[in-house]
Structure 1
């Protein structure tokens, strides 16, 4: 790399994330708003078999995370996990992946910012969404620009709120079940779940469609790969954070859904209402809707906070590896050891969300683009697995590192699964148009990446 892209006295990246931050961020990254708000819709598709859907997707995501973790363990200094794609799949794939992931996160972040506006309007219905969004954008951007430790502390408490909500639900459900409580919808008993159990209660088509719905509840799990480089002891913390994924999926997702269907006969659960609200209302908790609204507000704020962290480091890394002159100002760190300009630029791009919210004419187009961007996460996961395969063949392979179990079986199986989920998007009326949009991006930007001049890609 030339001297143009290196500053001799450039501050070192902050390492302000502690073990407790990483562990809670890892747990919080596993739990999204999809569980709190979308569980009823998922249950309506697959019934009790939704637990199997969550378990399968959780297992595939764990394989992907172990593959990413093995590379991170070998070299934890990379600012983003996408840096490995450039190294092992080539400059053009790296170019495609960096820009694709950054654009995907930007639109994903805009969607979360839009959700924040709607959740706050629960309490302040007359307040314009764009004012709410700009206020949250300013606060969270400031958090990311001050210190890594402040970001970690905020994510710690955001994650804690989600965890407490799920623990409260599980504890409430078990007390009601063992106490044989009676509610307006019937007795609380385990037979509500096991009674009339069927693997395909609504047919195999709905069962398959449930995979794509649940899949996007897991989006963001890979974020742990952005934080490891900014911890003091990555090789000690990384295995713990990743190896706990199966337990977190089993307990927080499967445990919560099992309790919901124990309290509420699963055939009676409304598809478009939060089961968490319904459960807490059944036990007489006044203001249950407000409490869950607060939880999902913190979940959305947590997600957007993480996205700013991630987009800033991705754009910094992208600029660092580029020869393009207009990107060079973003290839420098601030005096605090943060990619400040890259974070600020990503935050400014996110201002598009309040604009889209304020102009109804482009609102539908924004929903389409956001949905298409979300589908692109599947492409990134497939590229992570392909990168891992090339890493195994390289001289960097660390035979005594944090290894994937049975990689010759597990990794191809996970890759095929992600392809399967992507294909199912084309057979659902609500997802086919965004799937076409993400495919167009894959083809068009893939060609743009392929025909980039070699000297314009990186300085390696």
Structure 2
């Protein structure tokens, strides 16, 4: 088949799909289930932590967005690393990101099993995972538009839950609602305010906890090649990130601390469940469980989409002959073989979950893989820096403001977050694992060919 007759990626994603996917990528289960823990660590200063991380992620997204705007035909943003940093760095990024998303997906699949067992405690977790894996893989294999539609409604559920929380909190505050722990007042947020209420160490640790609540925001970079009008849709989706962070994250946390004095919020209980139970909503735990189930399903659905495109791109840019079958699109314009392979690899999750000894190792590997996202974000900024010096630079494109200031600032910040992982008992071992991967796989990558294979 000649290059002219080769199928191209489907253009099935519409503006409303991309906008809601962008919102969904910003909101994960970390907010619904982990907000109490992060507030416990940093108190009201957690708002500052979220704002700082949101700002740094926005810088990374603007850098990625500028490259995507210049060349929206690339199947994934990882392709720019090969293009501007060389095949060796690209090889490291391609395999690292694909493996990271696979392990991250396995973690979400494990979470899905646990959430479903809330209603069906006797149903084997491995069976639940296989059912969801097959169902979501089928969604990805049908058409891009079907994937987009499902993600649209998954995101709507998350957005509705947060809007309901914010509206409930505001009404309670203006209605002088009294709870078992006191009156609902906005002043609860800054009453007895202390920037480091539990010590500077816990404040610093809050950065790594919150950082991983933002993982997945870069996923919008996977959708650009399959949108109908990427140069129109992309700037809108990325420029709304600050608003989404301010409204959904900071708004929800502010309302939670308005309802519950922050010193009395339990660390290991969902504040969303607590709030809805306070207003007498029966089955609040079941409702929030449904919300986090859809959030986990949405995340895994997106990961399958991302992993399939990454493996397709990885195969196209590889010299290995055994990967060539995965470098082809189906007649309908889907990377079906790459997607199926990624789904088959994910089948390891039910196996890991059913064997305790392996499950312990799986938790470690998943945590280490999550740490690799920080490396990917740094490489995105590095690639962007090289792009600005290249002949591809588009001076009238979707330009970042003051890149000489903000890009180094964001790189330093991501390095800072990575370093903090070594000073927390729960994160130090995975951080060492991620560092070992960086060194060992970095050496392997060094011995790869300097140039990617020709696209002819």
TM range (shorter): over 0.9
**Correspondence 1:236 to 2:232:** yes
Mean Cα displacement is larger for which, 180-189 or 102-111?
180-189
SS across alignment from 2:400? coil
Give the drift of 1:325: 1.1
Residue in 2 aligned with 1:427?
A: 423
Q: CA deviation at 1:7?
A: 5.4
Distance 2:55 2:448 in 1: 37
Contact 2:304/2:342 (8 A) holds in 1: yes
Query: Within 5 A, what are the aligned runs for 1:42-441?
Result: 42-441=38-437
Alpha carbons 2:87, 2:448 under 8 Å: kept = no
> Counterparts of 1:361 and 1:176 in 2: how far apart (Å)?
47
In the TM superposition, what is the alpha-carbon distance from 1:112 to its structure 2 partner?
0.2
CA contact (8 A) 1:323 1:459 kept: no
Aligned residues: 455
Task: Tell me how far 1:10 sits from its aligned partner.
Answer: 2.4
Q: In 2, Cα distance between the equivalents of 1:133 and 1:425?
A: 30
Query: Are the aligned partners of 1:60 and 1:414 in contact in 2 as well (CA < 8 Å)?
Result: yes
SS in 2 for 1:180: coil
Deviates more, 1:189-198 or 1:173-182: 189-198
Q: By how many angstroms is 1:453 displaced?
A: 3.8
Is the 1:117–1:129 contact (alpha carbons within 8 Å) kept by the matching residues of 2?
yes
Deviation readout 1:21-79 (Å, 9 max, x if unpaired):
00000001000000000000000110000000000000000000000000000000000
Determine the C-alpha separation between the residues in 2 that align with 1:454 and 1:403.
30
Cα distance in 2 for partners of 1:286, 1:383 equals: 47
Of residues 10-19 and 155-164 in structure 1, the stretch that sits farther from structure 2 once superposed is: 10-19
Q: 1:103, CA displacement in angstroms?
A: 0.3
Provide TM-score, normalisation by structure 1: 0.98
Q: What CA deviation, in whole Å up to 9, does each residue of 1:284-313 have, x standing for no partner?
A: 100000000000000000000000000000
Q: Deviation string for 1:119-159 (max 9, x for gaps)? A: 00000000000000000000000000000000000000000
Q: Distance in 1 between matches of 2:152 and 2:372?
A: 28
The answer for unaligned runs of 5 or more in structure 1 is none
TM-score by structure 2 length? 0.99
Matched, 1:459 2:427: no
Matched position secondary structure for 1:58: helix
Q: Secondary structure at the residue paired with 1:106?
A: helix
- Give 2:7's aligned residue: 11
1:102 counterpart SS class: helix
How many angstroms apart in 1 are the aligned matches of 2:5 and 2:390?
33
The alpha-carbon deviation at position 407 of structure 1 amounts to 0.4
Matched position secondary structure for 2:5: coil
User: How far apart, CA to CA, are the structure 1 residues paired with 2:354 and 2:193?
Assistant: 46
User: Does the 8 Å contact 2:56/2:410 carry over to 1?
Assistant: yes
For the residue of structure 2 that corresponds to 1:302, the secondary structure is: helix
Structure-2 separation of matches of 1:441 and 1:100: 9
Rounded Cα–Cα distance in structure 1 between residues aligned with 2:329 and 2:323: 13
Equivalent-residue separation in structure 2 for 1:193 and 1:131 (angstroms): 44
Cα RMSD (Å) of the superposition?
A: 1.0
Q: Deviations over 1:367-394 (max 9, x none)?
A: 0000000000000000000000000000
C-alpha deviation, 1:184, in angstroms: 1.4
Partner of 1:32: 28
With 220-229 and 189-198 compared, the bigger mean Cα shift is at 189-198
2:146 and 2:449 mapped to 1: Cα distance?
41
Deviations 1:303-338 (A, max 9, x none): 000000000000001111122111011011112110
Alpha-carbon distance, 1:8 to partner: 5.2
Moved more, 362-371 or 178-187: 178-187
